[in-house]
Chains A and B, each alone.
Chain A
């Protein structure tokens, strides 16, 4: 094995790219869960976003429109989840799992004509001479726009959740929907909007996979990224900052896996593939050993709300 073949700066740059899809989807799910809704359909929304984004980008030739298409596709699928769980009071776990299965099948159906096509290229941003700074320039300043969008979203979501009234109301709904209702907040409407946001973010993450990271369309191409995003939210204890670190960690494992293969390491790929889940389980064990509050899960997570008067 020749570890010197791995350039740390290049590795870190590819780590950031590998982390972007799960970061986007994880941020969306974080907002959804903060509102007290558990949507296990992230994988399904991501893959629908991937094919919708791909199809729109190929059809229009514009990657930007493609990303919008991906977000709309993810949000549309999440709307089904929202209507079922918020108005018809369906079980959130069962509905989320169904959404994943439906999304995988549905994306394969609409993706039939797109196998083997190359999408339009997304250009990397150039920061002029700054991008040529050794190390830092390679790591941070030679990426496409979506990488920066995802990073800005981390800060924006942290700010909204912790510093604005909108975020306070969202957290209140996720903590105690009965009390929020008694104070006059529209629990179902707030949750539905959060679900749509989560769907759009998952769709963006999926579109990033099919338009930039891979870039092409294959059936089932998310291959578990949605589940990693879900694990990421728990790993991050519902905090955007820690979610970014988690995404880099999990993304780093993916990037490292490719680099290690190139370097000729004899580590079976499966160990690295399962590691995000193993790490999440370990973090859960460590945090629950410290007591319930340390986990930081919204108190009303996964519970259906029905106004009784």
Chain B
């Protein structure tokens, strides 16, 4: 398969250059070539006028190319200084390195304790480790792959200040993101890829986000549409829900309460690791709670497991697609059976009606445009976006009365994400109640009727999503986590570490 074909682009010193494209457009392969992880079959690269063809990442690093990865390339059991040392050529002694980390982190307003274990850091702090690892090598070109997906709006502000400072010092920055508004505020130029080819270049400030999105997908996008109806009777009621996390690094839920009516969409924001996973588990029935903490259409279900709740109409699609939402080595048909058998009646006297299961799986594939050779394919073989469409579609087609989704469009390209959001809204229009947990604020603002934020296991009181600004949401999410708040936000929440 050809991931990139005949790609040409240039980036000058001090420029912030955006690389745009859907999943599978070839952005990752392109930056991996620049970073020396993949070798191009043909073509040439020039770095500051000299031919540049790194055979391995260490060579790229030596020549001044540094990269911050999308999924952090960090080691949880090692401390900050050790993590930084692993990404450097010829690192100095640990003591000297710790000094330099402190110095650089002060210079750029990114506080970090070199002796702390990375496993104990928040997502924003982990990203600082990666950035400082790059800065210590005095890079000429800094590649950032989806850096803001795990940050609060305030943390994004601080990151952008750092990046602007770097670009003012002459560092070229190659910036990959799905978030078009961010690219409009930060980037000077943009190169847009589709199916491995450059389809357009533009100056982001002069374009609207919609125009750029349409260049990416090559078709006109319609925003999710819905017919607003007055909300129906209460579908799901949660009161005083406190549970501890099954995961040693997890967050306990503390006194969660909300009421959700039929046809209503509740959007729950929050930075990763503030109890999102636990909330989904407690609602789906994987964590049990006192009986009356969770009520489904008035019926207490707190002691019921997932299948009993499914039978009553509550379904859930967790964040982790492989291993939680789907069994990686089982076929799509088998995966359709696993969550669908309760509501679709696939079992007869303990025997599986495979024909019915397979036609259910086929229906999901057709209705949600899942690109796969067939339903016999293992879930593992699907790309992330396609599997996500399958997982969400599987729940939606079970005709639930309440659906809980966590990160429904994480890692899914723009067109598919729009389709998933539309499907959730259509489901709500038919009278189902939707709980959408997500870290994508634009997504939540697009689909939610009411809005709440999770912060260290506590849920803010839900409020109407209309008229909510991103700044207000940021404060609901707890402000900037332990950031050096040199600029605007001097509130008490911002000082938390």
Contacts and interface: CB of A to CB of B under 8 A. Distances in A.
Interface stretch (B17-25, B69-77, B148-156, B308-316): B69-77
Interface stretch (B83-91, B285-293, B322-330, B355-363): B83-91
B32 interface: yes
A8 to B, nearest CB: 40
A178 B70 CA distance: 13
A184 B36 contact: yes
A268 interface: no
A88 to B, nearest CB: 18
B69 A182 contact: yes
The interface residues of chain B, by DSSP majority, are classed as loop
Q: Which of the four size classes fits the interface of chain B? A: 20 to 34
A175 B85 contact: no
A309 B76 contact: no
A176 B71 CA distance: 12
Contacts of A168: 78, 82, 85-86
A151 B79 CA distance: 28
Given A168-B82, A171-B78, A299-B76, A183 B248 contact: no
Interface string A282-301: 00000000011100101100
Nearest to B36: A184
A309 B61 CA distance: 19
B328 to A, nearest CB: 14
Contacts of A178: 73
Nearest to B248: A292
Interface in A171-188: 171-172, 175-176, 178-180, 182-185
Interface residues of A, number: 21
The interface residues of chain A, by DSSP majority, are classed as helix
B36 A176 contact: no
B78 A184 contact: no
Nearest to A298: B77
Contact of B77 (A183, A184, A299, A309): A299
B377 interface: no
Contacts of B76: 175-176, 299
Contact of A175 (B29, B37, B75, B248): B75
Contact of B248 (A179, A182, A293): A293
A183 B73 CA distance: 7
Q: Which of B36, B37, B57, B86 has the most CB of A within 10 A?
A: B86
A291 B74 contact: no
A172 B75 contact: yes
A266 interface: no
Contacts of A292: 248
B231 interface: no
Given A168-B82, A172-B78, A293-B248, A179 B73 contact: yes
A290 B359 CA distance: 48
A169 interface: yes
B56 interface: yes
Q: Which 3 A-B pairs have the closest CB atoms?
A: A184-B57, A179-B73, A175-B75
